[in-house]
Amino acid sequence: MSNHLRNEETPPAHVALVTGASRGVGRGIALSLLASGFRVYGSGRSIEQADLPPEIRRQRCDHLNDDETAGVFDVIRSGSSGLDLLVNCAWGGYEKMVEDGKFTWAAPFWEQPAHRWTGMMDAGVRAAFVCSAQAARMMTPRRRGLIVNISFWAAQRHLGNTIYGIAKAATDKMTSDMAVELQPFGIPVISLYPGLVRTESVLEAAKSGVFDLATSESPEFIGRVINALFHDPNLLARTGQVLVAAAVAKELGIVDVDGTSPPALSLADI
């Protein structure tokens, strides 16, 4: 058989967009999906300076700007046959945690700086909503796809500050309701909780003993879980659910990049 025929029979790569792919969890997801064979688009405000391989298609975007967000999806439309996977990871909630020498992250809601609402609700929840709407317009005609919203346990108990809890609870509710409206098209929507992830900021904080990394996850781990979910034949049965990445990994036989199996944290652990 000729190389030409073999190439024609090779199925096209699935197409994924990871928002907030410049660093942290988003960067790890983008790297992991690329390694799993996806054609990956990564968006973010600083994506052009990100430490990413050239195979990841970088789309500079401030997801607070709807026109810039629409432009990202226009690029995907023009450069591929469709969008198979959206991972909403864009998030501005961890910026400026210390201001004028004061740690404002854990301040009561009446002392929270206004920018934290913008970072969590607008750059986080609203950005995920707008991206999901754009993705749904591409996915519904093909009647396939997957939307993953990265969330956390703050949706279910007070962690850190009130705005954080509002944002994560809103993300999980958004997942649940979007799932209802997309189920007739066979498109699942899930909220996925990471554990303690060895992002750049966590590694820096660990130097001073803030975090115990013994049970932590690599940034690529949750991308491995997303890939496994994407290929799970029973994925639609999970739509609208909140899933803990490490628990899904144990169920589907996924390990971290170093071969370990991170523990699935529970609400009690948090």
Backbone angles phi, psi at 64, to 5 degrees: -75, -15
Residues labelled catalytic: 164
Q: Would you say how long the chain is, in residues?
A: 270
The pLDDT, as a whole number, for residue 132 is 98
Sign of torsion over alpha carbons 59, 98, 198, 175: negative
CA 83 to chain centre: 15
Among left, alpha and beta (phi > 0; psi -120 to 50; other), residue 37 is: left
The pLDDT, as a whole number, for residue 210 is 66
Backbone angles phi, psi at 243, to 5 degrees: -120, 140
Give a yes or no: residue 109 inside a domain.
yes
Give a yes or no: residue 59 inside a domain.
yes
Beta-strand (E) ranges in the chain?
15-19, 39-44, 57-60, 85-88, 98-99, 102-103, 146-150, 189-193, 242-244
List all residues 6 or more positions away from 263 whose beta carbon is below 8 Å from its beta carbon.
195, 215, 246
Residue 153 and residue 165: Cα distance in Å, rounded? Answer: 8
The pLDDT, as a whole number, for residue 93 is 82
The pLDDT, as a whole number, for residue 205 is 67
Give a yes or no: residue 269 inside a domain.
no
Give a yes or no: residue 190 inside a domain.
yes
pTM of the model: 0.93
Name the CA radius of gyration of the chain, rounded.
18
Backbone angles phi, psi at 195, to 5 degrees: -95, -145
Give a yes or no: residue 270 inside a domain.
no
Query: How far is residue 233 from each of residues 10, 82, 188, measured CA to CA in Å?
Result: 21, 20, 12
The pLDDT, as a whole number, for residue 11 is 67
Give a yes or no: residue 265 inside a domain.
no
The pLDDT, as a whole number, for residue 265 is 83
At 238 the three-state DSSP class reads helix
Strand pairing partners for 17? 41, 86
Long-range interactions of 102-108: CB distance < 8 A, separation 24+: 105/160, 105/161, 106/160, 106/161, 107/161, 108/161, 108/162
The pLDDT, as a whole number, for residue 215 is 83
Per-position pLDDT tens, the chain of length 270: 444 444 445 567 899 999 999 999 999 999 999 999 999 999 999 999 999 999 999 999 999 999 999 999 999 999 988 999 999 999 988 888 888 888 888 999 999 999 999 999 999 999 999 999 999 999 999 999 999 999 999 999 999 899 999 999 999 999 999 999 999 999 999 999 998 888 887 777 677 776 778 888 999 999 999 999 999 999 999 999 999 999 999 999 999 999 999 999 888 877
Q: Which residues form the domain of 211?
A: 12-252
Give a yes or no: residue 153 inside a domain.
yes
In the chain, the number of structural domains is 1
CATH number of 178's domain: 3.40.50.720
